[in-house]
Structures are given as structure tokens and as C-alpha cells.
């Protein structure tokens, strides 16, 4: 007779994160907003595409604002009160995503631009001979 194994499943404890980071990646086609703790572990994430925008509308500032609001709502459940903002990219959603935080009582401690800058670049074309 096989004995039934009883496994106890513990409810996942919701951790409390008071201060964290907000990463905003704003491209011409989409804006991705991610809340994480100080170590970089993701708490909440959203994008313009995930909030229902499609096609060229994903790259707009309004889509970035809606994505930031959705992610902030989820991050607020962890008790998040202050963030350091890291902005990457050149899209329209850079400022809109940060401004959306004001309605959620999340304090912005610092804003840093971490957009990649090429140093060296790609190999140039060969010289044209006539």
C-alpha cells in the first residue's frame, strides 16, 4: 500500500519594499516600465503593448503614461514609496512615464539617463572609386 505524501504549500509571503528603482525603456515603437527593488529584483512591470495599445500608438507619450500607471498600481501593493529612476532610450514616453508617478504618491529621489552611447561605432563604407 502506497502511503500518501502530504506536502504543505505555504502561501507566498508578500515582501515589503519601501524604496526601489524604476526603469523606463522608451523606444520609438514601445515603452517598457519596470519597478524593482534596490537589488534589481522585479516587483512590477508593464509596457504600452501590454496595456492594449497596438501599432504606432504604442510609441506615444499617452501609452507610456498608461503603462507607468498600471505598473505603479501593482508596485504600490508592495508598499513602494520612493524610487530612483533610470531612463533609457529616445522615445516619446521618457517624461510621460515619470510624470505618471505623481498620482500614486511615489517620491522620485533621482533621475538618471542610462541611454547607451556608441563609442567607435560600426565600420565605415569603403572609399568610392570613380
Closest alpha carbon to 59 in 81, 103, 10, 26 = 26
Distance (Å, rounded) from C-alpha 62 to C-alpha 48?
9
pTM of the complete model: 0.80
Q: How far is CA 47 from CA 41, 70, 82, 121, in A?
A: 17, 9, 21, 29
CATH of region 19-113: 3.30.420.80
Give me the residue spans of the domains in the chain. Answer: 19-113
Q: Is 112's pLDDT higher than 70?
A: yes
65-75 residue pLDDT tens: 999 999 999 98
pLDDT at 88: 95
22-69 residue pLDDT tens: 999 999 999 999 999 999 899 999 999 999 999 999 999 999 999 999
Amino acid at each position: 500500500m502506497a502511503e500518501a505524501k502530504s506536502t504543505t504549500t505555504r502561501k507566498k509571503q508578500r515582501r515589503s519594499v519601501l524604496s526601489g528603482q524604476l526603469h523606463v525603456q522608451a523606444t520609438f515603437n514601445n515603452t517598457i516600465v519596470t519597478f524593482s527593488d534596490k537589488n534589481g529584483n522585479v516587483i512590477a512591470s508593464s509596457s504600452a503593448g501590454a496595456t492594449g495599445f497596438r501599432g504606432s500608438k504604442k510609441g506615444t507619450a499617452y501609452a507610456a503614461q498608461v503603462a507607468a500607471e498600471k505598473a505603479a498600481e501593482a508596485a504600490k501593493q508592495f508598499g513602494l514609496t520612493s524610487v530612483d529612476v533610470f531612463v533609457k532610450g529616445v522615445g516619446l514616453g521618457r517624461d510621460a512615464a515619470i510624470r505618471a508617478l505623481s498620482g500614486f504618491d511615489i517620491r522620485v529621489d533621482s533621475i538618471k539617463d542610462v541611454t547607451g552611447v556608441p563609442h567607435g561605432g560600426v565600420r565605415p563604407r569603403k572609399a568610392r572609386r570613380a
